[in-house]
Each structure stands twice: as structure tokens, then as C-alpha cells.
């Protein structure tokens, strides 16, 4: 009987490791596609690349709702796509990016990157009644993100 449970445990651990590897590969692909889109000089081509990337990251966020890295990159891509769209069209994508960053923060509260990107989003989003932009919240999030990032950098130096 123990042998059966050991096999089940090993299988579950193996599946988790494969999922992590697949997620990391997806994030690497997203990062390279993101960099490629940002380097693109043609506006329409860049917008099409960002649109496709936004769709991809949305699918990944639905597939891996408890992965903070996936949610962080979903928010980053949606923010970039919203910026490229501009105007009122961007508001929906900014709201989705905000939710994605907030979820990433709830899953990984010690990761400063999500705080930094959320702070930037609050800084650039229009204020009420159209958006959720707020300079004081932005400042608070940016300070918290910098503090966490500096702490993690110090920990790396000591290691």
C-alpha cells in the first residue's frame, strides 16, 4: 500500500516539476516576444505583435491562475498593449492589468516587481471617473516595490 502512495507522490511531484518547467519556458518566450515587439519600428506591426502577445498571456493567466510570474507578465503585456492603443480603448486593458498585478502581489508579496509595475500603472492611468489613476497610491506602491527590490538585492549580495 505504501508503495502505491509513494508512486502517486512521485508522479505528482514529477507533474509539478514539468508544469514549472513549461511555465518557465512560456515566460521566456513571452519575454523574448515582448522585447521583439518593443524593438519593432513599424506601428501597425508592433500593435499586432502586442495584440497577439496579450491574447497569449491572457490564456496563460487563465491556465495558471496561481503563478505569480505568469500574472506579472500578463500585467506587463496588457499595460504595454493598452499604451499602444491609447484613449478609451486602453481602459479595459489597464483594468485587467491592474487585477493581474494585484493577484501576483497576493501570491508573491515579497516580489517587488509587481509593486513597481502596479505603481507605474496607477501613475499613468487616468483618474476617476474614467480610470483608477492615483498619484498617492502610485507613490506608495513604487516606494514599497523599491524597498522590496533593494532588500532582495542586498540578500543576493550577502549570499
Q: What is the pLDDT confidence band of residue 21, given thresholds at 50, 70 and 90?
A: low
Name the band, by pLDDT with cuts 50, 70 and 90, for residue 154: low
Question: What local confidence, expressed as pLDDT, does residue 35 receive?
Answer: 92
pLDDT at 157: 60
| Residue 6: predicted pLDDT | 45
> Residue 156's pLDDT band (boundaries 50, 70, 90)?
low
Choice among 15-24, 107-116, 134-143 with the minimum mean pLDDT = 15-24
**Mean pLDDT, the chain, whole residue set:** 85
Residues 113-133 have a mean pLDDT of 92
On whether the pTM is more than 0.85, the answer is no
Tell me the per-residue pLDDT of 55-91, one tens digit each, with 9 for 90 and over.
Answer: 999 999 999 999 999 999 999 999 999 999 988 889 9
What Cα–Cα distance (Å) separates residue 133 from each residue in 103, 109, 120, 123, 124?
Answer: 18, 22, 10, 6, 7
Cα–Cα distances (Å) from 127 to 66, 122, 123, in that order, read 29, 9, 9
Instruction: Give, in words, the CATH class of 2-158.
Output: mainly alpha
Where do the domains of the chain lie? 2-158
Residues whose CB falls within 8 Å of the CB of residue 51, separated by 6 or more in sequence, listed in order: 81
Amino acid at each position: 500500500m505504501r508503495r502505491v502512495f509513494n508512486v502517486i507522490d512521485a508522479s505528482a511531484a514529477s507533474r509539478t516539476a514539468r508544469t514549472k518547467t513549461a511555465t518557465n519556458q512560456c515566460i521566456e518566450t513571452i519575454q523574448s516576444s515582448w522585447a521583439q515587439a518593443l524593438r519593432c519600428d513599424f506601428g501597425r506591426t508592433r500593435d499586432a505583435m502586442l495584440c497577439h502577445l496579450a491574447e497569449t498571456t491572457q490564456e496563460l493567466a487563465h491556465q495558471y491562475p496561481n503563478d505569480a510570474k505568469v500574472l506579472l507578465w500578463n500585467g506587463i503585456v496588457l499595460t504595454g498593449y493598452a499604451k499602444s492603443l491609447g484613449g478609451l480603448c486602453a481602459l479595459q486593458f489597464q483594468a485587467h492589468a491592474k487585477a493581474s498585478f494585484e493577484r501576483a502581489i497576493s501570491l508573491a508579496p515579497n516580489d517587488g516587481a509587481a509593486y513597481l509595475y502596479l505603481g507605474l500603472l496607477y501613475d499613468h492611468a487616468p483618474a476617476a471617473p474614467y480610470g483608477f489613476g492615483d498619484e498617492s497610491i502610485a507613490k506608495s506602491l513604487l516606494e514599497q516595490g523599491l524597498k522590496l527590490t533593494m532588500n532582495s538585492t542586498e540578500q543576493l549580495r550577502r549570499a
